[in-house]
Chain A
Amino acid sequence: MGTGTGTGSGTATDAGTGTGTGTDAGTGTGTGTDAGTGTDADAAESDTETPGARPANRRSATARALAWSTGLSVVLVAVVLASAAIGPVSLSLPVVAKASLNAVALPTGVTLASTSVGLGGATATVPVPDLTYTSLFAFPVDSTAETIVRSVRLPRIALAVVVGVALASAGTVMQGFFRNPMADPSIVGVSSGAAVGAVATIALSLSIPFGVQGAAFAGALVTAFAVYLIATEDGRTPVATLLLAGVAVQTFLGAVVSYLLLQAGESVEQALYWLMGRLHTATWGQVEATLPVAVVCLVVLLAYARDLNVLLLGEEDAHTLGIEVERTKRILLAVSSIVTAAAVAVAGVVGFVGLVVPHMLRLVVGPDHRVLLPTSAIAGGAFLVATDTLARAGPAELPVGIVTAAVGAPFFLYLLVTREVHSL
């Protein structure tokens, strides 16, 4: 559970070098204070060393990705620990750190448990994998503090990390895919579809498998697939058509959601909370369900980072450079829709993470997806944990979607009036 903490425990020791490397790579003037990292990564990329052929101030993308990711992971761990310390009961950082490490566990066994699922009047029994975990650490911690950290705060933080990673990586891919810095993960209607599924379930008190989350997930994927079908003709999916079809479908589904809210009666508050995006219902179970999806999708997207770079040159150029353009677009669209759907299903419509985080990172690390994608993913996790902490730290708890939008929209406008408007 909690990849964030898992990664953190490994890298926390070299926090100093990690941050230093990050800054160097960013300015492009790394002068070899940690040349070791660069050379290793070069070798890993199996580029043969040609003496003097390459100026020393340019590093391979892998080295830069590694350096930045390490630095950002440190930030993520810091944010996670700080977030776990903040709350109605204030805990000290060492206590939080120990309790968090105690929560780090590896799945060591799988058994199939049965869950009964109801659809309409019928119920069916569905096998669900049940993992058994082995803890890696056993620090002595006050049991009240441990309970607060492990059962109350960490599930929420872990889910925030997963959702943030998912949305930010999907947003990065969508912006590259549409060659448009203003695209976001829900541009093909994923969020609207999820909203319809969730609000319909809540408002009409439907009983379907896996409840609201199942309905949201299904609604998201059905919508994305429908938009894809609408925009596809003769096996080609022009991104402009896809964009417009997505906007049209989103508008239509917005109307459906509004209508459903009118019919919601007493459950309207629950529906509205879902629509605003919230993490306060987070459970370890949700983390278990979304984490594998996010990890698998992120790995697939990372494998396509180079293709995404080439796609930025335009589809025709990409084709002449050996990219199967339509197939690659289908895969990228499907995978980023799935990862977005998984995130939205558990957290509701959390806006602006997928739009703003890739943007910030692009300004810092540049457009190369081999660097941008992993760094955006980690930064997205950290961003959502931070904003969710803000959301629950106030006197009245806010849905996190309100905070991300409140932070994200001004930043978006700032981008609009300063630099990005010229380069659309």
Chain B
Amino acid sequence: MTGPDDEPAGSEEGGPLVAIREVVAGYGGDPVLDGVSLSVERGEFVGLVGPNGAGKTTLLQTINGVRDPDSGQVLVDGASVDDLSSKAASRRVATVPQDTTVAFEFPVEDVVEMGRTPHRGRFGGDPDARDAVERALERTDTARFRARSVGSLSGGERQRVVLARALAQATPVLVLDEPTASLDVNHQVRTLELVRESTRGGKAALAAIHDLDLAARFCDRLVVLADGEVRAVGPPEEVLTGERVAAVFDTPAAVVPSPVTGAPTVTPLPDPTTESAADLCVHVAGSGTTAARTIATLAAAGATVTVGVVPTDGLAASVAREHGIDPVEASPFAPVDAATEAAARDSLAAADVAVVAGALPPSLHALVRDHDAVVRVTDDRAGQSGHDDEVGNPTAFSTEDATGTAGEFSPDSRATPETVVETVERVTTAPVAADD
């Protein structure tokens, strides 16, 4: 082998590189994993998600051989990890552990070189060591502090050093336990890109990742693990649904495609049991993230939500669908036609409260204003002008002139996406007196 990932050791015959079959494992008689089956193919980056205590770390430990399963089998490249010597197992599986503290003060380069341990005889050398170490240092962007002591590095730098160690190990399988836990945004993305890139060279990677958005963005498949069982396996967009996230993580969540990457993004929502608008029927009109968050919050609070008019295929529309609401949509760049307006009017008439969230076409604005109870939602976080509300949609859904419309809403009926539920409730219990 000459490189850390170009030529992974092992045969090239078919079959998954990692095959986990009915694995039961745990501490004493208490199984943490209860019959887990899973496979990871060559060239695949699989993300392991699930709540704390789901058994993610234990599962990874059965793959790298730290923990022997109580029953079941873990095959790596066709051989049972159980039967392999520590050295043979370490030539197949490299591990990036969760805890990266190093007790004694080794220079970075020496720590990375320890990744070559399984390739080295007790008295023999390792001719590939230097190449592998150099490449690993470069790829993880750690070469510049190669001579520094590991103890003097920050947590994020140390994590990259440990990743470099795993890359220098030049194994066909890479197992990572929270590789991005202590990294900044830049290095989170770079680390996962690096792992994904390695898998494109033929490696198989399995990573426990807490950040669902990152997992969805970088992994080819996600495995949802909860209570020691696999709850779902598949591409991120299939696995990550609001319902499943709610069930597994025990919190309601909105899952919508990221406007930037297209990967599902998960937003946990307030617990519906603490806020209730169950008996309310609310109509939301608007656009952009403000509308999306308002819809999600209201739906999570249990209100019956109708939506319209929102831009076709925009964020608000997709969030509405995510919550089982059929939105009234209009093409962002065209004037709102009569049929659409009528549909919106019907919904409005049926609603107890009308909510305007974000920018709205002027024609609809008049429509909404006629409603008895109107709540205006603005997103304080969305920026000073509100122009970023709806990217690429400057005409039809133009942001109203702030001074022109602000006066139309009493201070009582203004809200942010976070406070919309209580504002809606307040408006319905004590309707705002009509000034006109």
Closest-by-CB residue of A relative to B90 is A322
A231 on the interface (CB 8 Å rule)?
no
Assess whether B66 is in contact with A324, with CB atoms less than 8 Å apart: no
A89 to B196, CA, bound (A): 76
A319 to B66, CA, bound (A): 6
- Contacts between chains A and B (CB distance < 8 A), count: 103
Assess whether A46 is in contact with B124, with CB atoms less than 8 Å apart: yes
Interface of B (DSSP majority class): mixed
Among A48, A57, A176, which residue has the most Cβ atoms of chain B within 10 A?
Answer: A48
Distance (whole angstroms) from the CB of A280 to the closest CB of chain B: 38
| List of A residues within 8 angstroms of B95 by Cβ | 317, 320
Assess whether B85 is in contact with A324, with CB atoms less than 8 Å apart: yes
A48 to B134, CA, bound (A): 13
Assess whether B147 is in contact with A46, with CB atoms less than 8 Å apart: no
Distance (whole angstroms) from the CB of A31 to the closest CB of chain B: 14
A58 on the interface (CB 8 Å rule)?
yes
A314 to B114, CA, bound (A): 13
Assess whether A320 is in contact with B65, with CB atoms less than 8 Å apart: yes
A233 on the interface (CB 8 Å rule)?
no
Closest-by-CB residue of A relative to B122 is A303
| List of A residues within 8 angstroms of B107 by Cβ | 58, 366
Interface residues of B in 287-339 (CB under 8 A from A): none
Tell me which of A98-106, A112-120, A305-313 binds B: A305-313
- 1/0 per residue, CB under 8 A from A, across B226-240: the answer is 000000000000000
Interface of A (DSSP majority class): loop
Using a Cβ–Cβ cut-off of 8 Å, how many residues does chain B contribute to the interface with A?
A: 44
B127 on the interface (CB 8 Å rule)?
yes
Assess whether A303 is in contact with B90, with CB atoms less than 8 Å apart: no
| List of B residues within 8 angstroms of A366 by Cβ | 105-107
A312 to B150, CA, bound (A): 13
Assess whether B117 is in contact with A321, with CB atoms less than 8 Å apart: yes
Distance (whole angstroms) from the CB of B196 to the closest CB of chain A: 21
Assess whether B147 is in contact with A28, with CB atoms less than 8 Å apart: yes
B258 on the interface (CB 8 Å rule)?
no
A50 to B137, CA, bound (A): 15
Q: Which of A58, A321, A423 contacts B115 (CB 8 A)?
A: A321
A325 on the interface (CB 8 Å rule)?
yes
A53 to B138, CA, bound (A): 11
Assess whether B86 is in contact with A367, with CB atoms less than 8 Å apart: no
A176 to B104, CA, bound (A): 9
| List of B residues within 8 angstroms of A179 by Cβ | 103-104
A366 to B150, CA, bound (A): 12
A324 to B97, CA, bound (A): 18
Q: Which of A176, A306, A320 contacts B97 (CB 8 A)?
A: A320
Q: Hey, which bits of chain A sit against chain B, CB under 8 A?
A: 28, 45-48, 50, 53-55, 57-58, 61, 176, 179, 303, 306-307, 309-310, 312-314, 316-317, 319-325, 366-368, 423
